[in-house]
Structure 1
Amino acid sequence: MSEHADPEETRIKALLETWADAVRQHDVPAILAHHEPDMVMFDLPPPLQCKGIEAYEQTWDLFFPYHKRGTAFDIQELAVTAGQDVAFAVAIMRCGPNSSSNPADKEGFLFRLTVGLRKVDGDWRIAHEHHSVPAND
């Protein structure tokens, strides 16, 4: 990390690392802790979008059967751009391996993450998440 790192960007990076660790541990309250009640998410599997924290929470029930607790949900690259009260982050992450017995799943898979944040009462809050993988030809 640069000695001239923006303190807001550093705070956001720490928040996202905490979120990723909560996912690895399947700790739903910690996953939700920094999300806005009216957040929106676009995810890899259906539904196409979920609106609101309750819908977001339900998506984890769909994810956890395919992700072994403690396995990778790791940020491999992360860039943050922070303004005074809004920010966004883009990341490449590794997920897996999943619970499948398929040898091709041994290393998991890479996916893209885009997060939109807003500052509320001095704290960064996740207002938008978008997870994606490259489309296959």
Structure 2
Amino acid sequence: MSSETLKATAELEVHEAFNQWLKGARAKNVDAILACYADDVIAYDAVIQLQFKGIQAYGKHWRFCMEMCGGDGIFEPAEPTIHVDNSLALLHCLVRCGGEQDGEVKTSWMRGTQCYVKRGGQWKIIHEHFSAPFDMESGNALFDLQP
């Protein structure tokens, strides 16, 4: 296969891995979500603490987050972009995420980045980062921004 074909194939594989992650997140299926990560994942999530090291710590965090939101999980990516180089890939996008609280759907747009590595023939997330911009004067997160 040509290098162009290999790259296109890898991009499709990473896109499918991302879709599996989305499917698990929307279903609030933590086991399905965690299947997308490498055991040694390092995650910078927007909730609770600066970083999570390893699948155990991040799994505990995912369970906590899923318990906080009622109803189905809302994870709607905008313009996911994938860059691949051999066995390393980067995906970034804006993600509208949230859930139901007290009978009301609450969402906000976040910035998301996932770094994948191909191990044993599978693309796994080795680093993930979700964040919201903030106002420097007030220190408040800007959850009402739109793409």
Instruction: Give yes or no for TM over 0.5.
Output: yes
The 8 Å contact of residues 66 and 98 in structure 1, kept in 2 or not, is answered as: no
Report whether the alignment pairs 1:118 with 2:120.
Answer: no
Q: 1:82 aligns with which of 72, 81, 84?
A: 84
Equivalent position amino acid for 2:112 in 1? L
For the residues of structure 1 that align with 2:107 and 2:41, how far apart are their CA atoms? Answer: 27
Equivalent in the alignment of 1:128? 127
Q: How does 1:1-137 map to 2 (within 5 A)?
A: 6-100=8-102, 106=105, 108-137=107-136
Give the direction of change, closer, same or farther, for the CA distance of 1:29–1:97 in structure 2 (3 Å limit): closer
For the residues of structure 1 that align with 2:52 and 2:120, how far apart are their CA atoms? Answer: 25
- Matched residue pairs, number? 131
Structure number with greater Rg is 2
The alignment-based identity, stated in percent, is 27
The 8 Å contact of residues 20 and 73 in structure 1, kept in 2 or not, is answered as: yes
Residue 107 of structure 1, CA deviation: 5.0
1:6 is paired with a residue of what secondary structure?
helix
The CA RMSD measured in Å over matched residues stands at: 1.9
The 8 Å contact of residues 24 and 69 in structure 1, kept in 2 or not, is answered as: no
Residue 58 of structure 1, CA deviation: 0.5
Equivalent in the alignment of 2:139? none
Equivalent position amino acid for 2:135 in 1? N
For the residues of structure 2 that align with 1:28 and 1:71, how far apart are their CA atoms? Answer: 11
Give the direction of change, closer, same or farther, for the CA distance of 1:69–1:16 in structure 2 (3 Å limit): farther
Normalization by structure 2: what TM-score?
Answer: 0.81
